[in-house]
Structure 1
């Protein structure tokens, strides 16, 4: 497997919908669904070497360890190809600006997410070798 995909969000319904859309867009047939930041970080450290690259759909507002803390941890992973798509209900321009400060963030999407949003991610230049 070249590209591993994870959905990190505390909303189970969102996981269900994203799973369907990721399959429909042929981005991933089996995304890993994780429900909070700590769970993701544990999974990440156990599986980060299983693929050439990782595509992570990350919610910002989660209990305990939020998306910002996850991004801070991922920033330390300089040798790994990590692509993060922020998925959030926040429409605050400060959040979008802050997300731009993380080099692994390739997109910032405000919920609800649509198929066309995911197709744009699939067509984005940094990910092309992995599809």
Structure 2
């Protein structure tokens, strides 16, 4: 049985999406995995679905060309979506400012450095199921 019913991955890196989705499927992480290559598409999807259909976990890249992760977070807050889902920043960035911004944002559950591996997924499951 999968740990989660539905998750969103918002990331413009096609290779990251392919590898991450494969690992998640191997680990039975989620029944449904939705990929969005930019934040605008993910926001539109979040706006169009009912609260019961929101993802349980959303993985968000910081560095994307059309809308970066921080712009996504600002737009999400403005939409006032009842986001009881867990948002994890995923990035290869080790910029201390990004780490601090993730730690101080009340809507972000954690910061995960890329690549994602089974151990990191297990930590997310434990953190979200508490």
- TM-score w.r.t. structure 1 length? 0.85
CA-to-partner distance for each residue in 1:23-43, whole Å, 9 max, x for gaps?
223221321010011111111
Structure 2 residue corresponding to 1:98, chosen from 76, 97, 101: 101
Counterpart for residue 128 of structure 1: 129
Counterpart for residue 13 of structure 1: 15
Shift of 1:68: 0.4
Counterpart for residue 34 of structure 1: 36
Relative distance call for 1:13 and 1:53 in structure 2 (3 A) is closer
Structure 1 residue corresponding to 2:69, chosen from 60, 67, 70: 67
- In structure 1, the gaps of 5 or more residues are none
Question: Contact between 1:3 and 1:55, CA under 8 Å: does it hold in 2?
Answer: no
CA-to-partner distance for each residue in 1:66-90, whole Å, 9 max, x for gaps?
1101111223436330211110010
Count of aligned pairs between the two proteins? 126
Shift of 1:65: 0.9
- In structure 2, the gaps of 5 or more residues are none
Shift of 1:112: 1.7
Question: Contact between 1:19 and 1:30, CA under 8 Å: does it hold in 2?
Answer: no
Counterpart for residue 58 of structure 1: 60
> SS state of the match for residue 30, structure 1?
strand
Is structure 2 residue 120 aligned with structure 1 residue 117?
Answer: yes
Counterpart for residue 47 of structure 2: 45
Counterpart for residue 88 of structure 2: 85
